[in-house]
Structure 1
Amino acid sequence: MSDSDRLYRFTFENIGIRGNLVHLDATWRAVLGAHPYPDAVRDPLGESLAAVTLLASTIKFEGSLILQAQGKGPIRTLVAQATHEHKVRGLARWDGEVPVAGTLAARFGEGHLALTIERSGAEPYQGIVPLEGADLSAAIERYFVDSEQLPTRLWLTAGENRAAGLLLQRLPGEGLSDDDWARIGMLAGTLTREELTGQSAGDLLYRLFNEESIRLFEPEPIAFRCGCSRTRIEETLKLLGPAEVDDIIAEQGAISVTCEFCNRNYAFDAVDAKQLFAELTRHEPSPSQH
């Protein structure tokens, strides 16, 4: 598809509404390639990836936005992350049979939704709301009403090959009337799952808003990027210290760490551990030096 793995930004001229549209294809399949998910878990995970990509693009920052849904029901944890560079990753954990259809309560049980902004060189900012509503879109919309006081509408869908989403957001201080916001929301409410996943950005926006004045910007590429590395694992092992690392290797023969996001395995044996802490020793100053 010509609009595969693309984020589209658009604005409604003169009425203070902005929008984002995203299609995730190879990016979404890369996430699915790391773990086999049943359809009932796969679809909300894809929706969360589309949502976090849309939401991250509304923030001017250097860092990442993390969407996390946690519950006491069949789906225990759902995590999706998008960076300011449009790199995304995600995973889900579940236990037992997950209902194919139903509300968030049926799939997640009692739980909460958290959105965390991690900025370079700054303390993380997090907002949390109850995980309630018919679907993930409803829970996120509630978050923006309760935590941000920024009216936001979302339409999300996911399947085997594509995850997609549409976001509309009312901009503060732009002179937008309630009637304008209601009209645009009503038009977007006619969107079908098939249109969201199957139509190009231009065709979709024309179908929904052909009587509105819309400015559509150039698309931006989206890609899967895990962010794990052997160096990061090494830094974690250094925090454990040589004695604990040696004990683990003596008991298990090696230390094996598998990234939950991409399923890549990192293995460390006794030789690796010796080199790791030998390098650390060489860089530490002698206590007698001043």
Structure 2
Amino acid sequence: MDKLDCIVIGAGPAGLSATLTLGRARRKVHIVDNGTNRNRVTQESHGFLTRDGIKPQQLKDIAMEQLKPYPSVSISKETVTEVYKDDQKDLFTVHTSNNKSYLAEKILLATGIQEEFSISQIKQYYGKSLFSCPYCDGWEHRDQPLAVIAENEAHITHLTKLVFNWSKDLIVFSNGHQLSNKLRNEFESKNIKVYTARIKNLHGENGNLESIELESGENIFRSGGFVVPSFYSPNKFAEQLNCQFDENGEIITDGDGRTTTNGVYIAGETEKAGPSSLIIAAAHGNKAAASINLDLTLERF
């Protein structure tokens, strides 16, 4: 088995950016990806300088194409099933669902996170008329009749105040959760109506929201809106590699992508343990790759 300098797990903006940086540093790097990045449902990505409005898959295709000139970079489409470290040899072995194995000195975890919704129907509209990030999708839905769907008062407060910047035609749906009188009064002063009844159904076609039906029997017209998902890591690689976590469940790093396990690095939403913009994730990938290259340089010089 050939030994690689680094294996990058995940070909989102963080993993791709890191791979490009490592390829340009003449490092032998292999990137493994299974195509489950969470922005695959997104119609357009926004806020990435020079690429505003691009489809996420197109951005990924361009990045993959730009890796081709670097002969030390290789790519495979497969799912990583296990990662473990041989402490005696100080090397990592990565196994995949295709019964392949890779050996490397360094590992970069860039597998990101995934969303979960308390209302399962949201998935039918997510990425087309319901979104989680106003900075990413607020402009396209400015001045439209929008919903904020969230259950935690702090989340409702934060998201509603943000979305109000793009549309004053705003209704809050707390799905059975009561809000404090103080917050309700604050919203009412801005003509923001609040429905606390549980949501029975979402209506629309082809991912385009048309109305929100409540268990109370009311059916309120809305053309789109913003939601607060919960997020989780799709794998346990960091735990398998004995990376330490803080009290908030985030992987501890030195700020430059290095974890507490020597040779293991993280970038993008894996590092943040929450949603991130493409441009920030790409920057984190670049920074982690610089750390990997520096460590390899110092160890071998």
TM-score, normalisation: structure 2: 0.23
